[in-house]
Amino acid sequence: MSDNPARILVVDDEPSITEFVSYNLKKEGYEVQTAPDGATAVALITSGNFDLVILDVMLPNMDGYEVVRRIRPVSNVPVLFLSARDTELDKVVGLEIGGDDYLAKPFGVRELIARAKALLRRSVQPDVGSSAGDFNEVIEASGITLDEGTHMASGANGPIDLTPREFELLAALMRHAGKVLSRDQLLHDAWGWEYLVETKTVDTHVKRLRDKLEAARVDPALIETVRGYGYRFKLT
């Protein structure tokens, strides 16, 4: 880790949860702040500088989904949802509105820390000298440029607004432009080794990524679906 520890906001209306999560994150060396409700979370996120938000879905006065809807126009901070609701629909909704991962309650501390580290690894700049070449590459294909040093994406018509997860997913596809990548490969490249999420997660993020490309006036068909296998970034 760098000299400046990652800043994490934990949002939950149950003091036992915030205390448990905060304690274990602090043991890992992170700086932790808490919020008891959605409105407070929105105010802190829009005025602060957090590297990760761990966000309960069921909150008083404003649920976690609404929190993400409100912050996404101004912040791409990674969001890990916590929820007692564990259906596939709940997870898909959370991801589609802008969440980066979804962890069902009750959860183990090891899984929580692993998922937090995986998200932070994509949002916090690594130390100089630690695999720097992997993070400072500039990738160009089919009119899109990705700068991994700054996490900036651009097309012929200007910047492409991507979350850290969407950026990594596009980078994985563009590194292997013209080749088909399975969902498992994309999970490895964009989500990391720390944990395994459902392959449905990839489909949801690809849909969001295509929407972001289209919004930036980039052809969303550059990301092709290869039925029964995965996805391919098309070379033009």
Rounded CA-CA distance 60/96 in Å is 22
- Would the CA dihedral through 203, 208, 213, 214 be positive or negative? positive
191 φ/ψ sector (left φ>0, alpha ψ -120 to 50, else beta): alpha
110-113 long-range contacts, CB within 8 A, separation 24+: 111/195, 112/21, 112/24, 112/54, 113/24, 113/25, 113/28
Enumerate the CATH 3.40.50.2300 domain ranges in the chain, comma separated: 7-123
Closest CA to 12 of 76, 49, 74, 58: 58
Comparing 26-40, 63-77, 132-146, the range with the smallest average pLDDT is 132-146
Residue scoring higher pLDDT (124 or 63): 63
Q: What's the distance, CA 141 to chain centroid?
A: 23
CATH 3.40.50.2300 fits 7-123, yes or no: yes
The yes-or-no verdict on residue 60 having pLDDT over 80 is yes
Fold topology of 132-233: Arc Repressor Mutant, subunit A (1.10.10)
pLDDT greater at residue 127 or residue 67: 67
Is a pLDDT exceeding 90 seen at residue 208? Answer: no
The pLDDT score that the predictor gives to residue 93 is 76
Pairing, β 180-182 against β 230-233? antiparallel
Predicted TM-score (pTM) of this structure: 0.64
